[in-house]
């Protein structure tokens, strides 16, 4: 039987085959994991629909394939059909169905041929396909064509995909004049690291970033958290500073709702979210992942702490559910837990702002004409300048600082 990449929901059109968990000739059981696939949301294991023997793996690790593409053949005793490997998905047609959609641009009357995946890539990067020259058969536009269009100022990528040879670096010994090569390692750039790179590039390309930062006196917050820790421990809660900061952020978002929005460029509308789902960046061995705390405005500090611990543990253990990775409206990245004094975060696109929480440091501060030792911290925030002006961002940050510096006010929220 032909096994196709299944539709895993949320409008996901394609996925990257990150790792094969079986090899040709293996006997597999029903529901046995076959491979790991990465989408824009998460990495998931795809199970076998039935028992059988793996006849052919048709996709290489690191290859991106559209949903419903045949990725392997399983001999389940029902005369499996064999097909050729599809190492270039965009040039392959399955079951005589066209792998492109014809679009007519009303302004130029130019007909455009492109796959759904290519059209999505163009849409994500604000590219008008009618202005792109297609290099595939019948003038069809590929993702590479769109990328070349976005980088017209750079050297054009060869359509023959000729291998670029990089000369290794070496030194000559004065004694024997032999080439001594430096020690290097080539690591495939794929999987989560590649997905992160794509998302960051999309954010920087689409959203004109500006950053604002301010210093906050967290002395009272440090004391308040210390006073609450015994009660938190009795409830089995690991209480960090983040639940307090989330509560302050949600309160400020209610006062400045444009920071809890997305820009719908297709319909030229600003979509202001009336719910508060806070993404929290979590560092893993594979890269940064942003699980989302849903309905943060309805949670107590202790409840938020429990949910943060659950999300962080599941993320680091690779057990995070795809539902926990979607629906975010605003993101917080806590670089201070590692030790960063200051940072310039990149927006978690299509959100319009991200707040970085930095290191808490004791230092001398002038308070009412006197020098005192206080616990200080920088907050740095990046915003999409299309939606957020500097004045609004400043007032938002001032509100967050006011609540953090007076943590008991949070109990009134």
DSSP string, 326-359: S--SEEEE-GGGTT-S---PPP-TTBSEEEEEEE
Tell me which of 4, 194, 202, 385 is the catalytic residue. Answer: 385
**Mode of pairing for the β-strands spanning 353-367 and 370-384:** antiparallel
231 class by beta-carbon count within 10 Å (0-12 exposed, 13-18 middle, 19+ buried): exposed
Model confidence pTM above 0.85: no
- Is 209 part of the annotated catalytic residue set? no
Per-residue pLDDT at 108? 45
Domains and CATH numbers, the chain: 2-91 (2.40.50.100), 101-150 (4.10.320.10), 192-412 (3.30.559.10)
**Phi, psi of 94, deg, nearest 5:** -110, 135
Give SS3 for 77: coil
Structure tokens at 251: 């309160």
Mean pLDDT by 10 residues, the chain (413 residues): 78 80 92 83 80 91 86 78 41 41 46 72 80 78 83 48 49 53 80 82 93 96 94 93 96 97 93 97 87 96 96 89 91 88 92 96 93 96 96 97 92 74
**Mode of pairing for the β-strands spanning 111-114 and 101-104:** antiparallel
Which among 199, 25, 215 is positioned nearest to 121, based on CA atoms? 199
CA-based torsion, 222, 225, 230, 234: positive or negative: negative
Give SS3 for 180: strand
Per-residue pLDDT at 161? 43
């Amino acid at each position: 039987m032909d096994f196709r990449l299944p539709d895993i929901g949320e409008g996901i059109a394609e996925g990257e085959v990150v790792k094969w968990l079986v090899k040709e000739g293996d006997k597999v059981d029903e529901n046995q994991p076959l491979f790991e696939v990465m989408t824009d949301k998460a990495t998931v294991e795809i199970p076998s629909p039935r028992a059988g023997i793996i006849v052919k793996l048709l996709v290489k690790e690191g290859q991106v394939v559209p949903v419903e593409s045949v990725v392997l053949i399983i001999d389940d005793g029902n005369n499996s059909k064999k097909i050729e490997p599809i190492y270039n998905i965009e040039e392959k047609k399955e079951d005589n169905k066209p792998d492109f959609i014809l679009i007519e641009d009303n302004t130029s009357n130019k007909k455009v041929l492109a796959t759904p995946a290519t059209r999505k890539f163009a849409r994500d990067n604000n590219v008008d396909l009618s202005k792109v020259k297609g290099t595939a058969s019948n003038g069809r536009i590929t993702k590479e064509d769109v990328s070349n269009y976005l980088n017209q100022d750079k050297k054009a990528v060869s359509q023959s995909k000729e291998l670029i040879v990089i000369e290794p670096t070496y030194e000559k010994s004065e004694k024997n004049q032999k080439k001594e090569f430096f020690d290097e390692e080539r690591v495939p750039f794929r999987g989560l690291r590649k997905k992160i790179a794509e998302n960051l590039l999309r954010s920087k390309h689409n959203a004109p970033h500006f950053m604002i930062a301010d210093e906050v006196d967290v002395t009272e917050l440090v004391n308040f958290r210390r006073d609450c820790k015994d009660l938190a421990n009795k409830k089995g809660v690991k209480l960090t500073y983040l639940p307090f900061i989330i509560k302050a952020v949600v309160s400020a978002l209610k006062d400045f709702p444009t920071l809890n929005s997305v820009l719908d460029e297709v319909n030229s509308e600003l979509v202001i979210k009336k719910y508060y789902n806070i993404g929290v960046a979590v560092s893993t061995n594979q890269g940064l992942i942003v699980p989302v705390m849903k309905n943060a405005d309805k949670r107590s500090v202790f409840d938020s702490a429990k949910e943060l611990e659950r999300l962080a543990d599941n993320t680091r253990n690779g057990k995070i559910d795809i539902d926990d990775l979607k629906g975010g409206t605003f993101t917080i990245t806590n670089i201070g837990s590692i030790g960063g004094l200051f940072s310039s975060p990149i927006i978690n696109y299509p959100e319009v702002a991200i707040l970085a929480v930095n290191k808490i440091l004791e230092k001398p501060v002038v308070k009412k004409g006197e020098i005192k030792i206080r616990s200080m911290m920088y907050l740095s925030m990046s915003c999409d300048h299309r939606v957020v002006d500097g004045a609004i961002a400043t007032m938002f940050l001032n509100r967050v600082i006011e609540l953090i510096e007076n943590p008991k006010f949070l109990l009134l929220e």
